[in-house]
Amino acid sequence: MSNPFEAVWNTLKTLIDDEPKSPLHIIEAGDLWTYYTALEEFIRYEEVGLNTSTDDEILEMLTDAIRVCEAQSQKISAFMVKEGIPLPDVTSAKPKSDPKEVPLGVKLTDDEIANGIAFKIVTLMQLCGKGQADAIRNDVGVLWLELYGEFVSFGATLKTLMRKRGWIKVPPYYYPPGTPTSK
């Protein structure tokens, strides 16, 4: 069985050594490009949520989500530029609007906003896992781990809010055949 401390030490050694880094391979570059694009679209969704909700807890959650996503966007874009990966065209920022002036047929409910954010977090976490699995360079692997960790922390807070409000979508429970029933 591998020693986790030895694996961490070996990774750290490669991050601090003076050996030249190999160029990113095409899949590493593609994973970064895809993640950056999805992240920027996620920020647009959060801006829409800010423009439609009046709930203080939702607005605080959206503000935190934007803070996390914008920090990740800056980190990823700086890395991509340094590595020579062209940045994709992304949707421009949404202008601020008064939530009370958004027509009800267009306005997202707080439940829809929270579940949309949860879905997008899960999607980005899956992209982080794919990026981690595809990474050959240790600095890229560590970057994916950092991004994943930030969403784990944020997701735990979001889950608490969603549970409190009864917004978590739970699939039907599975009872295997032959399971004793309590009556």
Characterize 102-116 residue by residue with b for buried, 16 or more Cβ atoms within 10 angstroms of its Cβ, and e for exposed.
Answer: eeeeebbebeebbbb
Contacts for 85 with CB less than 8 Å, ≥ 6 apart: 24, 29, 32, 33
Distances (CA, A) of 66 to 31, 44, 161: 21, 9, 17
List pLDDT tens digits, range 7-38: 666 666 665 656 678 899 999 999 999 999 99
Nearest CA to 110 out of 30, 164, 44 is that of: 164
Task: Give the pLDDT band of residue 6 (cuts 50, 70, 90).
Answer: low
pLDDT of residue 132: 96
pTM score: 0.84
DSSP state of 166: T
**Would you tell me how many other CB atoms lie within 10 Å of the CB of residue 182?**
4
Q: Which domains are assigned to the chain?
A: 24-93+107-165 (1.20.1260.10)
Mean pLDDT score of the chain: 90
pLDDT of residue 14: 60
List pLDDT tens digits, range 108-153: 999 999 999 999 999 999 999 999 999 999 899 999 999 999 999 9
CB 183 within 8 A of CB 146: no
Q: Which ranges of the chain does DSSP label H, i.e. alpha helix? A: 4-16, 26-52, 56-83, 110-134, 138-165
Tokens for 122?
A: 């899960």
Q: Determine which helix (DSSP H) or strand (DSSP E) holds 99, and give its type and residue range.
A: none
CA distance 95 to 160: 29
Characterize 3-22 residue by residue with b for buried, 16 or more Cβ atoms within 10 angstroms of its Cβ, and e for exposed.
Answer: eeeeeeeeeeeeeeeeeeee
